[in-house]
Amino acid sequence: MTSAALPPKAPLDDVMLAMDVVDTLRHRQDLVTRELEGVNRESQLIERLRDLYHQQGIEVPDHILKEGVAALAESRFTYEPPRPSLQLRLARLYVTRARWGRPVAAGLIALLLGVGGYFLAYKPFVAAQSEAARVELAEGLPQRMDEVYDAIYNETKVQQAVTQAAQLRERGKTAAAAGERASAERALAGMTDILDTLRREYSLRIVNREGVQSGFWTFPEINTDATNYYVVVEAIGPEGEPLALPILNEETGETQTVTLWGVRVPEAVYASVEADKRDDGIIQRNVVGLKQYGFLEVDYLMPVSGGAVTQW
């Protein structure tokens, strides 16, 4: 079809006037309802519209008024919202993307980083830690037990240390094979204590300095008719340094690491030490015993009763 055959377009002013008529009718629902209740009342509505525009100083041709009334009846120039649908929701999301896009993108990035970190970093780390713990329990701990046992065997001068270490090693390896890490570590710690004890060298001396008791006596709670006598001692190393040693307190049953403790002695020994100090304020025979390298026990140079306390 040629352009000559197309119907002529209405002037823009006429279209605008027709839209204004429709708009007026939409805002004057009382007028529309009243005038269109009957039949063939279009002419009356047009007349009222003409008067309404005339009062505003606007002259609107009748054909424009008719066009506006017809447009109202046909719902022209009236926006009808689309019905809800998936396409409509997607379109609205797209239009409002500037408002929600950035926080959603940030959330997605955070989610991706979290998921990626979990699968690419955390899970491999946990797996590596688990594998390292398994290897340590299956290989590392038994190997260290063998190393400590060999050191004890080579450095000890008493069979007792080898016997105790062998028992602990067997117990520790059995626990490691069963996956009992705590028991295996306790066995290794026991073997290490034996080795540390073998390597210590010190002299056990009665304390003889101002402000510190050289001895004391107590009544044991379980037998108040008896009296326990103690001399206060300290372990002095090869370089003259005091050593902190684990001492079992016979009154509490607890082991404490201390630098001073009381060794229980017979009453005669206590009296002898007391008289030695009273003589000139100096304890001449102050060495209670010697602990030599390679041995577990102190070689006592004076009689002792075999008990100790860490508090008095």
**Cα 120 to Cα 113: distance, rounded to the nearest angstrom:** 10
Which residues touch 15 (CB under 8 Å, ≥6 apart)?
Answer: none
Are 300 and 212 in a shared domain? yes
In terms of DSSP H, where are the helices of 118-227?
123-135, 141-155, 159-177, 181-199
Residue 206 sits in the same domain as residue 303:
yes
Range of the domain at 268: 202-309
220 pLDDT higher than 90? no
Q: pTM of the entire structure?
A: 0.59
**Residue ending a domain, choose from 140, 174, 199:** 199
* Cα gap 179→183, rounded to integer Å: 9
Query: Beta strand 245-248 with 255-258: parallel, antiparallel or unpaired?
Result: antiparallel
Same-domain pairing of 170 and 157: yes
User: 3-state class of 59 per DSSP?
Assistant: coil
The answer to the question of residue 83 being in a domain is no
pLDDT tops 60 at residue 7: no
What are the φ/ψ torsions at residue 231 (nearest 5 degrees)? -110, 140
**DSSP code of residue 207:** -
Q: Which of 292, 308, 298 is nearest to 231 (CA)?
A: 308
Q: In this structure, is residue 133 part of a structural domain?
A: yes
55 and 38 together in one domain: yes
Name the DSSP letter for residue 4: G
Identity of the residue numbered 157: K
Question: Is residue 161 in some structural domain?
Answer: yes
As a whole-number percent, the residues of the chain with pLDDT over 70 amount to: 82
Task: Answer for the pair 305, 270: CB distance below 8 angstroms, yes or no.
Answer: no
Q: What is the pLDDT of residues 33-79, one digit of tens each?
A: 554 454 455 676 777 777 777 777 777 777 777 777 776 666 554 55
Going by their DSSP bridges, the two strands 242-243 and 287-291 should be labelled as unpaired
> Residue 74 has which token pair?
């046909």
Q: How many domains does the chain have?
A: 3
**In this structure, are 210 and 269 located in the same domain?**
yes
Q: Is there a domain that residue 58 lies in?
A: yes
pLDDT tens-digit profile of 165-188? 999 999 999 999 998 999 999 999
**Secondary structure class of 108 (helix, strand, coil):** helix
> Are residues 181 and 214 located together in one domain of the fold?
no
pLDDT in tens, 102-159: 888 888 888 888 888 877 878 788 877 777 877 788 889 999 999 999 999 999 999 9
In a domain? residue 112: no
- Mean pLDDT across 196-220: 94
For residues 277 and 195, membership in a common domain is answered with: no
Residue that terminates a domain, selected from 170, 199, 228: 199
Q: Does 302 lie in the same domain as 275?
A: yes
CA 305/CA 296 separation, integer angstroms: 18
* pLDDT tens string 245-255: 999 999 999 99
User: From CA 255, how far away is CA 271, in angstroms rounded?
Assistant: 28
Q: Are residues 190 and 212 in the same domain?
A: no
